[in-house]
A = this chain, B = another copy of it.
Amino acid sequence: MSRNDMHKLSRETPVAALETPHVTTNPLTPSPTTTGAQMYTFLEKLFPICRSITGDGVRQTHGLIKAELPNLNIQEIPSGTRCFDWTIPPEWNIRDAYLLDPAGKKIADFKKTNLHILNYSTPINTQLSLEELQDHLYSLPEQPDVIPYSTSYYDKRWGFCLAHNERKALKSGTYRAFIDSSLEPGHLTYSDLVVPGQTEQEILISTYTCHPSLANNEASGPTVATFLAKWLLEGAPHKYTYRFLIGPETVGPIVYLSKHLVHLQKNVIAGFNLTCVGDNRAYSYLPTRQGDTLADRIGKHVLSHIAPDFKRYSFQDRGSDECQYCSPNVNLPVVNLMRSKFLTYPEYHTSADNLDLVSAEGLLGALHVHQRAIESLENNATYKATTICEPQLSRHNLRPSLGATKGLSSYYKNISDILAYSDGRNSLLDIAEIIGCPLWELYAIATTIEDRGLLKRID
């Protein structure tokens, strides 16, 4: 008597009992095409706004998100507030800015793209020679056709960013530099949204709103976060509590952690920082400092089945809010599951990171990865077999009664493997990794076996 029961035998009349049950995996997005298009449309609204770490552009951005997520809790913290080693800077706002060349022609015009202005520029309205002006110009000789994105949050500067080719064509003479900005005591804007579950254990989803018109490395993050929150609010089954955090990169999490560190360290079991989730060229993974948290394991598992050739980065390649979440005295298990990672694609932090770079497919793929990760976290469980020795599976309708030649189908093999490895220590995720299949092919099967009384859930 062998466990390798036959069901590939040739029979003219199929035997119904031998049919492999059809395993339905939950379709995560009922109409993927529609969702991708909706995401892209939302991103288009966010893209043109001039954001920085503070200011009305940020307020406007959070307002657009709140229009989608009415329970979004928008908060402000005054300039000058100390948070850990940091001090909230003055609020920056800008209305207009441009250079006039010697012929009176407007160049580096804020109205054409907000990238032209050094972010956080102090106000200026002055005449100066080209030589004097050069100290205030920023360009990229290696990428002479794109406008770089640059900032000076904590040292007072003013400046203009422009394509290197345009800069080289500037004629000698007198220029006028005009920046109608203000740098005054105000507030820093951030928001959070808590989607309650059945337990206090939390999944943290973080993203940022501080870059002006950049698409992959800015607008994609709040877009995917918004649609992930909508998916949960509209009924995606979940037992964990979900906490969304949206604020300026770096100082946003620092503000938030300064208020909620103890709570987060106690409750967060996994987290995802949404950055660079908009283009369609790659999937990328950046680990926590430890590299082996539940978030790391789930993230790698999901990517290895959805995009087996995904790029694996090191924590040394960090650069977004994982720098705060994974810092030594914070230690939250937050990973980045990205499309093309910041600093690795040529358009990064230039005017080429625009609406053409990102796509409905890119955004939807990132959404899908995070939905799978959430679904995997929600459905992972550890079981222990209840019988001594294998159960008599055919009696439980978990194996064909006709034993035969050439081994089990993958459905029956999965039943056998779940039972064989469920020793009270291996989780379904462990078993999925051992047998090399997606965790989401095992949920329903494990539940079926549990319903027969052959597995007992122990976590």
Stretch in A30-38, A80-88, A233-241, A358-366 touching the partner: A80-88
Cβ–Cβ < 8 Å partners of A185 in chain B = none
Q: Is there contact, CB below 8 Å, between B404 and A289? A: no
Complexed CA–CA distance, A328 and B383 (Å): 11
Within 8 A of B (CB), among A1-45: 1-4, 6, 9-13, 17
Q: Is there contact, CB below 8 Å, between B385 and A1? A: no
Within 8 A of B (CB), among A220-261: 248-251, 253-254, 257-258, 261
Q: Is there contact, CB below 8 Å, between B327 and A385? A: yes
A176 at the interface (CB under 8 A from B): no
A301 at the interface (CB under 8 A from B): no
Cβ–Cβ < 8 Å partners of A289 in chain B = 420-421, 423
A424 at the interface (CB under 8 A from B): yes
Cβ–Cβ < 8 Å partners of A86 in chain B = 389, 391-392
Cβ–Cβ < 8 Å partners of A150 in chain B = 6, 9, 402-405
Q: Is there contact, CB below 8 Å, between A404 and B349? A: yes
Q: Is there contact, CB below 8 Å, between A84 and B387? A: yes
Q: Is there contact, CB below 8 Å, between B152 and A403? A: yes
Cβ–Cβ < 8 Å partners of A249 in chain B = 1-2
Q: Is there contact, CB below 8 Å, between B157 and A328? A: no
Cβ–Cβ < 8 Å partners of A417 in chain B = 316
Q: Is there contact, CB below 8 Å, between B210 and A435? A: no
Stretch in A195-203, A266-274, A318-326 touching the partner: A318-326
Q: Is there contact, CB below 8 Å, between B13 and A401? A: no
A134-B11 CB under 8 A given contacts A385-B328, A388-B261: yes
A349-B405 CB under 8 A given contacts A250-B390, A389-B85, A392-B86: yes
A125-154 CB mask vs B (1 if < 8 Å, else 0) is 000000100110111110000001111111
- Number of copies of this chain in the oligomer? 3
A420-B315 CB under 8 A given contacts A151-B402, A395-B154, A403-B151: yes
A138-B342 CB under 8 A given contacts A389-B324, A392-B85, A403-B152: no
Q: Is there contact, CB below 8 Å, between A3 and B319? A: yes
A459 at the interface (CB under 8 A from B): no
A444 at the interface (CB under 8 A from B): no
- Size of the A side of the interface (Cβ < 8 Å), in residues, is 92
Q: Is there contact, CB below 8 Å, between B1 and A210? A: yes
**Which B-chain residue is minimally distant from A394 (CB atoms)?**
B154
A422 at the interface (CB under 8 A from B): yes
Q: Is there contact, CB below 8 Å, between A329 and B152? A: no
Q: Which of B10, B316, B390, B424 contacts A434 (CB 8 A)?
A: B316
Cβ–Cβ < 8 Å partners of A394 in chain B = 154-155
The interface of chain A, by Cβ under 8 A from chain B, is 1-4, 6, 9-13, 17, 53, 84-87, 119, 131, 134-135, 137-141, 148-155, 157, 164, 210, 248-251, 253-254, 257-258, 261, 289, 315-316, 318-320, 323-324, 326-331, 342-343, 348-350, 384-385, 387-392, 394-395, 401-407, 416-417, 419-424, 434-435, 454
Q: Would you mind naming 16 contact pairs between A and B with Cβ atoms under 8 Å apart?
A: A1-B151, A6-B349, A10-B164, A11-B138, A12-B131, A86-B389, A87-B392, A148-B405, A149-B404, A154-B392, A154-B394, A154-B395, A155-B402, A261-B388, A327-B385, A331-B423
Instruction: Known pairs A2-B342, A328-B424, A330-B389; list 4 more (Cβ under 8 Å).
Output: A11-B137, A323-B390, A327-B388, A327-B420
